[in-house]
Amino acid sequence: MNPSSSVDRLQALRAAMAVRNIDACIILTSDPHLSEYLPDHWQGRKWLSGFGGSAGTLVVSADFAGLWTDSRYWEQADASLDGTGIQVMRSGAPDVAEPIAWLAEQLPRGACVSVDGQVLALRSQQQWQRDLTAHGIKLSCDADVLDDIWTDRPQLPHEPVYEHLPPFACRSRAENLAAVRGQMKEYGASWHLVSTLDDIAWVLNLRGNDVPHNPVFLAHLLIGMDTVRLFVAPDKIDSVLAERLALDGVRIESYDGVAGALAALPEKATLLIDPARVTFGTVAAAAYVGKTEGVNPSHLFKSQKNAAEADHVRTTMEQDGAALCEFFAWFESALGTERITEITVDEKITAARSRRPHFVTTSFGTIAAFNANGAMPHYSATPESHAVIEGDGLLLIDSGGQYLGGTTDITRVVPVGQPSAEQRHDYTAVLKGMIALSCAVFPKGTPSSVLDTLARTPIWQTGADYGHGTGHGVGYFLNVHEGPQSISYRARPSPHLAMLPGMITSNEPGLYRPGKWGIRIENLVIAVPALQTEFGEFLKFETLTLCPIDIRCIEIQLLSPSERAWLNAYHQEVRLRLAPLLQGEALDWLQRRTEPV
């Protein structure tokens, strides 16, 4: 976006704020469902600033504009916001206060801070209200100021909803509803409001295409003990699907009808809400109903894949790995003879996946980042700004697919030309960290956050670190990022971080040298039983992802005998399971890249 467009839009926003007597306006990267990937209608932060990263909070006052974003996006934000007058606030840096703390310091008593309550998590509203009130500052959540100035705001998406069916759907809708209702009884709740789109899709075995990369659809869900009310645009569900839903007691109502339904609940009813997964504006309609707070039951249920789902994921990983072998075989043969850019990598790798059975779409925007671009963990090449793959260096490729039988996410780094000794040293440290976490054995219920240091230790020992977490949960033909597990020492301690059997998690340590290169090696792993002793039940990780790890970047002498053994065993498994799906150049490539070290 031209920086002047952002300047003009900020000026218009400040004029609207003055009319409403607002001293500071917070523009979140959020929607009424607290989604990671947003429909265009709620891309207000991007529309105002021009910054397209998936995370960021914009704060605007009469004489200041600042974008808070984490270390994954610092370099990208610096480039995107140049000339806009918006200051990059490096969230997580020791000298940078978070937005609410910063506002509390900067604004005078009696000031008014505005945020759209429809896209603000209830838990955040509760905390913000306490913090700002303590400083005599008012928090207003009743207006979306963007509506005053965004005259051509995009409409809501209207893609059709479809059913996730057997054999890939391994739990029935009735079973899912029964499990949720069982937990509602534990909470003493007669109703349960669900607004997070992946939870709704999981409970009802439905999928959609309203959000990029995640197969979900815009809706709210109100579950009672005898009835279910699905608030969704009616034309998104055809008559056949509506009849099938009705068999399980699911009634279709208009998307914007959720507020009226909440307001009409009996006063004696008790509504279960998850304050981290419902917005203040949505739940405000249930003002006269008793409420109990707890984690959405579906949030934990869907994180623990059952045996049938895990088997489908294993098969999906074979197909995904075969697609990657085809891509890398093409890449190595074309390198130096064809013009290859970061955009080309994205196109070719997606095309390879699309030829595989049951592929639906990508699970996130492919990150193809050469040399210095790889130092930005969430870099995104664009037609206007991308690198040509030539010369010497490292190419980082982070990509994934949505299949009917599972969701994939993999990162590999490959050499272009001759990697330097320093690059090989960094690569080996990252590989050692990834292997260390792959080999973990730990008590069932161990907080996932404490496993983080296993992957970081080999990198810390070199005097380096990385700013992102080591692992995130992954859905089953659902969101590529899901909770509750999070392998990150920065994760807020919580009993819901427990690592349990069936949880699929990424294993992705990294090392990034700004202006030079970035390295990340990522596999998906699933927690499975390891052993039972007098000390209890222990779990381990089974590696799901199947694709060679490029040994040309490794300093072999830095690997211990056990690390070499792990790498050789992994490559033997990759060859065994992928070879039957390949032929020709792709099969030859697989055999070359899985030779023992």
Q: Of 122, 258, 142, nearest to 200 (Cα)?
A: 258
236: alpha, beta or left? (left if phi > 0; alpha if psi -120 to 50)? alpha
Question: What is the rounded average pLDDT of the residues 200-214?
Answer: 96
- pLDDT, tens digit, 9 for 90 and up, residues 367-419: 999 999 999 888 888 888 899 999 999 999 999 999 999 999 999 999 999 99
pLDDT attached to residue 92: 81
Helix, strand or coil, per DSSP, at residue 28: coil
Tell me: pLDDT of 6 over 90: no
CB 464 within 8 A of CB 512: no
The residue to which tokens 């200051």 are assigned: 87
309-348 residue pLDDT tens: 999 999 999 999 999 999 999 999 999 999 999 999 999 9
User: What integer pLDDT is reported at residue 95 of this predicted model?
Assistant: 87
For residue 559, give every residue at least 6 positions away whose Cβ sits within 8 Å of its Cβ, in sequence order, or none.
Answer: 428, 431, 432, 567, 597
Angstrom CA distances, 15 to 12, 31, 582, stand at 5, 24, 61
pLDDT at 463: 97
Rounded (10°) angle between helices 561-578 and 421-438? 80
pLDDT for residue 253 is more than 70: yes
Query: Between these two residues, 289 and 496, which has the higher pLDDT value?
Result: 289
The tens digit of pLDDT for each residue in 550-591 reads 999 999 999 999 999 999 999 999 999 999 999 999 999 999
- Helix, strand, or coil here: 270? strand
C-alpha torsion angle, residues 362, 367, 370, 375 (rounded to 10): -160
pLDDT band at 81 (very low <50, low <70, confident <90, very high): confident
Q: Give the H/E segment covering residue 416.
A: strand 410-416
Kindly give the pairing relationship between strand 87-90 and strand 65-69.
parallel
pLDDT digits (tens, 9 = 90+) for 519-549: 999 999 999 999 999 999 999 999 999 999 9
Report residue 147 as tokens. Answer: 């509506």
- The predicted pLDDT at position 378 comes to 81
CA distance linking residue 448 with residue 289, whole number of Å: 35
Residue 478: pLDDT above 90?
Answer: yes
Please say if the pLDDT value at position 495 is more than 80: no
Do β-strands 270-273 and 290-293 pair in parallel, antiparallel, or remain unpaired?
parallel
Question: Does residue 4 carry a pLDDT above 70?
Answer: no
What pLDDT was estimated at residue 3? 64
Mean pLDDT, residues 46-62 taken together: 89
**Predicted local distance difference test score (pLDDT) of residue 1:** 58
Q: Which of 310, 374, 322 is nearest to 525 (CA)?
A: 310
How many residues are given for the chain? 597
- 150-187 tens-digit pLDDT: 999 999 999 999 999 999 999 999 999 999 999 999 99
> Burial, 565: exposed, middle or buried (Cβ in 10 Å; 0-12, 13-18, 19+)?
middle
Q: What is the pLDDT of residue 89?
A: 87
Task: Indicate the pLDDT class of residue 2, thresholds 50, 70 and 90.
Answer: low
417: Cα within 13 Å, side-chain hemisphere: 12
**Mean pLDDT, the chain, as a whole number?**
95
| Average pLDDT for 288-306 | 95
3-state secondary structure 67-116: EEECHHHHHHHHHHCCCCCCEEEECCCCCCCCHHHHHHHHCCCCCEEEEC
- As a whole-number percent, the residues of the chain with pLDDT over 70 amount to 99
